[in-house]
Amino acid sequence: MLGKISIRLRLTILNVFLLTVCCVILTIILNFSANRMANVIEATVVTPAIQFDQIGELPPSEPQTPDTAADNTNSVPAAQTLNSQSARLNFLYQSILYMMMLLVIGGLLTYYISGKALKPLHILSRQMKNCTVYNLSEDLKVPESQDEIAELTRSFNEMSNKLNDAFAMQKRFSQSAAHELRTPLTVLKTKVDVFKKKKDRTPQEYDKLLSVISAHTDRMSTLVKDLLDLTNMDTLVCDQEIEASELLIDVAAELSPLAKEKNIYITVSGSSPILTGNQNLLHRAFYNIIENAVKYNVDSGIVEISVSTREQYTVITMKDNGIGIPKELQPLIFEPFFRVDKSRSRQMGGAGLGLSIVKSIIEKHNGTISVSDNPMGGTIFELLLPL
């Protein structure tokens, strides 16, 4: 029930409840003490004062009959009892009245003070309601007070920035995916339309059309397969024991024909720690990075791969002396479909999903990947994987 009302009313109700309990207990204690005191007073024998006249003699006393003396003796305690009961009732009623007054005053003060205390929260709530997908990049003003409201505002600004980045990345992903799929479909449709308009078709033209259809179909198949791999990676199990150096040597051997075309030398050095993971996934991650290092390297270049340990992690460093990546684009290279040089990447057959797949594989193995500039020219990729 309390969860459906505002925090201000909730605080007021809870404080009034506590005040009620305290006031009731205090009233009971006061009435109990007052009754005990009244009982003690009633039990005390009161002796009438005897007044002397000015010359020190006792005043003359009137003769009393036995009936008169008894009436006087009984009337005094009866009057005292009536007065005591009336005083007790008056004290009880007054204490209840004061208790109700305290509860009302305390409730109103609590409601007013809690409203003042929660005013920054109401302002923050109105500002949050005005946030939309179009103004997530605009930070809310953080209150000058270093309290919970200021911390909540800072946390909301951080969350808004992350959401804005996620929306921007999703937008780029959608645009890139649509472009990647639309391009081969457009080429296929154009080729087929031109071919249909021709009346006389030679066998060579049929072969050329089929080769174009096959090439673009393979490209779309590869693209769809990469997208499916990104979404289905969570279902794979990572419980195999893998020698990192041995796996890297195997990948380098597979890429040696491509490296020989550009006269590029690949070296693997360092220790051979044991990793726990999925060998096929790690093979693909290493393959994608080394393949990029070869493709985007200069002629007669070098790709240096070193393996070492740092605390509880295996550190795999891959250096090349190729064309490099601008610093402002380095945070974006792991996004799907992102290319540093779109024209050159398309000539080499890339779809911009390689490094995105690499990052997903490394994160699935509870590792991290980072990129930096090589002081000798080129790029350095550093992978941290738990031992």
Range of the domain at 355: 237-386
Whether residues 334 and 366 fall in one domain = yes
Predicted pLDDT of residue 52: 47
The two beta strands, 302-310 and 274-277, are unpaired
- Which of 208, 233, 258 is at the close of a domain? 233
Task: Give the separation between CA 372 and CA 324, rounded to whole angstroms.
Answer: 9
- Mean pLDDT of the region 352-361: 81
Do 259 and 356 belong to one domain? yes
CATH of the domain at 192: 1.10.287
Are 310 and 220 within one domain?
no
pLDDT at residue 95 tops 80: no
Residues 189 and 294 in one domain: no
- Averaging pLDDT over each range in 152-156, 227-231, 317-321, 374-378, which range is the top one? 317-321
Q: pLDDT value at position 69?
A: 47
Tell me if 18 is assigned to some domain. no
Whole-number Å distance between alpha carbons of 360 and 104: 61
In this structure, the answer to whether residues 225 and 323 fall within a common structural domain is no
Distances (CA, A) of 127 to 114, 117, 277: 20, 17, 46
Read off the pLDDT of residues 26-46 as tens digits, 9 standing for 90 and up: 778 777 777 776 676 666 555
Counting residues of the chain whose pLDDT is more than 70, the rounded percentage is 76
DSSP H/E element including 201: none
Across the chain, what does the average pLDDT equal? 76
193 and 321 fall within a common domain: no
d(CA 95, CA 178): 79
pLDDT at 103: 77
Could you give the count of Cα atoms lying within 13 Å of 148 in the half-sphere of its Cβ? Answer: 4
Global confidence as pTM: 0.54
d(CA 291, CA 229): 18
Q: Could you say which of 183, 198, 233 is where a domain stops?
A: 233
Distance separating alpha carbons of residues 130 and 320, to the nearest angstrom: 49
DSSP state of 340: S
Map tokens 């769809």 to a residue: 224
244: three-class secondary structure by DSSP: helix
Residues 269 and 354 in one domain: yes
Beta strands (DSSP E) in 279-354 are: 302-310, 313-320
Q: How far is CA 340 from CA 84, 257, 277, 346, 351, in A?
A: 98, 25, 30, 11, 12
- With respect to residue 271, please indicate whether it lies within any of the assigned structural domains: yes
Is 336 part of any domain? yes
Q: Which residue has the higher pLDDT, 177 or 239?
A: 239
- Whether 299 and 364 share a structural domain: yes
* Cα–Cα distance for residue pair 169/331, rounded to 1 Å: 12
C-beta of residue 360 within 8 angstroms of C-beta of residue 233:
yes
In a domain, 331, yes or no: yes
Number of domains in the chain: 2
Rounded Cα gap, residues 342 and 345, in angstroms: 5
**Whether 262 and 345 share a structural domain:** yes
377 with 254, same domain: the answer is: yes
> Higher confidence at residue 89 or residue 250?
250
Q: Which of 72-81, 207-216, 223-232 has the lowest mean pLDDT?
A: 72-81
Q: pLDDT tens-digit profile of 232-251?
A: 666 677 778 888 888 898 88
pLDDT at 48: 56
Task: Verify that 382 and 241 share a domain, yes or no.
Answer: yes
Polymer length of the chain: 387
CA 217 vs CA 184, 213, 224: distances in Å: 8, 6, 11
Between the ranges 135-149, 153-167, 313-327, where is the mean pLDDT highest?
313-327
Distances (CA, A) of 301 to 61, 83, 100, 174, 314: 138, 113, 89, 36, 26
Q: What is the mean pLDDT of residues 315-340?
A: 82
355 located within any domain: yes
What pLDDT is attached to residue 211? 84
368 located within any domain: yes
60 assigned to some structural domain: no
Task: Tell me how far apart the alpha carbons of residues 95 and 140 are, in angstroms, rounded to a whole number.
Answer: 51
Would 226 be classed as within a structural domain?
A: yes
Output the domain CATH number for residue 289.
3.30.565.10
Last residue of a domain, one of 214, 233, 252: 233
> 245 and 330: one domain?
yes
Q: pLDDT-based confidence at 70, cuts 50/70/90?
A: very low
More confident residue, 48 or 137: 137
Between CA 263 and CA 255 the distance in angstroms is: 12
